[in-house]
Amino acid sequence: MITASNIGWSADLPGQQPHSANPILSGYFADPSIVQCQGHEYIYATIDPWGGETLGSWESADFKNWIYHPMNWPTKQTCTSPTSKSAMVWAPSVVRAANGKFFMYVSVGSEVWVGTAEQPLGPWHDANGGQPLILENFRPGYHMIDAEAFMDEDGTAYLYWGSGWNWVNGKCWAVKLKPDMVSFDGAVKEVTPANYFEAPFMLKHAGRYYLMYSSGKTIEDTYQVHYSIGASPLGPFIEATNSPILVTDVADNIRSPGHHAVFSRDGYFYILYHRHSIPFNPDFIGRQVCVDELKFTPEGLIEKVVPTHTGPAMIEGRAGKLANLADPATGARATASSQRNDFTGPTRALDDNFATLWVAATNDVQPWLQLDLGRVEKISRQELRFEYAWKKYTLTLDSSRDAREWTRLVDFTRQPATGSPVVVEAKTEARYLRLNFSPQKDSSDPALFEWSVR
């Protein structure tokens, strides 16, 4: 078991403070892409560790409260060719084309597939006749991954992709797309800028083209975001004098930020990226999605990004937006049958911080988590954000006025809970609430990021 004492962690590292708004999603996701449509934002991301059978997608109407949605496509089963090998689904890029349809470019193994949908949440389907858009052997010796689509102001689309092997020798290719968003319009061009390894992202600002990308190792502290500038979507690109602009800050417990997207909202630019979960554990690849403001200098350079735990102004103060009877400020407190280590105690499920969570000990055969609201309250809705939105959790939820006689509110033993948040709409009057986990073969370990009660 990893503990604070045997690897020197502090129980109060930066980023573990209550009401920290970064990360913005509850769970381990990486390589985020974002789409804005009809007042909602949609985030698509790799499921960590190292991809899954499909992707994760999230929806929000206010950029504070996010709902997880499973995706019907892409899947490892449907996006498999003789060259896709064993690697899973990862690194989506989603854009809205000039024809109004949505297109997704996604890596499966070392090749790129493309799908389309009428709406951001699908249903999605393959757009290229069940074949990869970019084959694994397009350029032998390099990874055909991290495809990123860019829509120019005139509606013309471009695609960028490519990486190296063994964390070195990255290459970036680019091509103009025809209006069908699948066919190449001209020859593929290598546009590799200085210090490029993977994760290209194209941003246009004030008539110039900013090719942004990541270098270093995502499994270490060296991962970071660089950028180069060109006069056209196909370059050439010259690295800016102040690149890189988003890097590790060990003192503030921010490690390996990278593989990002940029979007604008209410007149401001933001960078959406992943970084390592807290506390940093090199043996666990559980990256989390964060957002911070991105600014330009008067000369047209991108300013150094200040990665934060609070997040930008649009998500600061997330906790105060909706009343939560389980907020410790109201007198509520949590207890549990056990905890995994110094950082996973029961209070973590009440701190409104997706960097922290409660986890039961591995040898706990009857794990439970209990809330004491301090007094009898009228309750109508509860939201549970488990560690993995895409896994199953077997448990029951009970309520009590006195902690002696209990009433069953919901039973997730026959049909396990899944998703995020898991919403329980059961009216009751209670002081105590209790989650009783009954781990089964196909059930995930008891672990909870947040428990809100209204």
Q: What pLDDT is attached to residue 154?
A: 96
Selection from 96, 146, 106 nearest residue 126 by Cα: 106
SS (H, E, C) 367-424: CEEEEEEEEEEEECCEEEEECCCCCCECEEEEEECCCCCCEEEEECCCCCECCCCEEE
Asked if 94 and 35 count as a contact pair (C-beta separation under 8 A), the reply is: yes
Q: How confident is the model at residue 440 (pLDDT cuts 50, 70, 90)?
A: confident
- Tell me what the mean pLDDT of segment 262-283 comes to: 95
Does residue 15 register a pLDDT over 90?
A: no
Residues 302-340: pLDDT tens digits?
999 999 999 998 886 555 445 799 999 899 999 999 999
State residue 12's pLDDT score: 66
139-177 pLDDT tens trace: 999 999 999 999 999 999 999 999 999 888 999 999 999
- The per-residue pLDDT for 86 is 78
Q: What is the separation of C-alpha 68 from the centre of its chain, rounded to a whole number of angstroms?
A: 11
CA dihedral defined by 344, 345, 350, 351, rounded to 10 degrees?
-60
Q: Give the pairing of strands 258-265 and 268-276.
A: antiparallel
* 157-166, 235-244, 362-371, 442-451, range with the lowest pLDDT: 442-451
Nearest residue to 159 via CA among 142, 184, 196: 184
pLDDT at 80 over 90: no
DSSP assignments along 263-296, one per residue: EEETTEEEEEEEEE-SS--TT---EEEEEEEE-B
- Top pLDDT among 167 and 95 is at 95
Query: 56 falls in which pLDDT band (50, 70, 90)?
Result: very high
Q: How does pLDDT run across 207-229, given as a tens digit for each residue?
A: 999 999 999 999 888 999 999 99
- Average pLDDT of the residues in 385-391: 96
The sign of the CA dihedral 341, 343, 347, 349 is negative
**228-232, 283-287, 347-351, 431-435: least confident range:** 283-287
The whole-angstrom distance between residue 165's C-alpha and the CA centroid of its chain comes to 24
Token pair, residue 420, equals: 């995020």
Q: Which domains are seen in the chain, by residue range?
A: 20-316 (2.115.10.20), 319-453 (2.60.120.260)
Percent of the chain having pLDDT more than 70? 96
User: What's the predicted TM-score (pTM) here?
Assistant: 0.95
Closest C-alpha to 291, from 318, 261, 321, 319: 261
Q: pLDDT at residue 98 above 60?
A: yes
Q: How many other CB atoms sit within 10 Å of the CB of residue 415?
A: 9
Q: Is the pLDDT of residue 2 over 90?
A: no
Residue tagged 């005139």 (tokens)? 154
Provide the pairing of β-strand 148-151 with 224-230: unpaired
Contact predicate 424/412, CB 8 Å: no
Query: How much of the chain, in percent, has pLDDT values that exceed 90?
Result: 86
Residue 53, both tokens: 């059978």
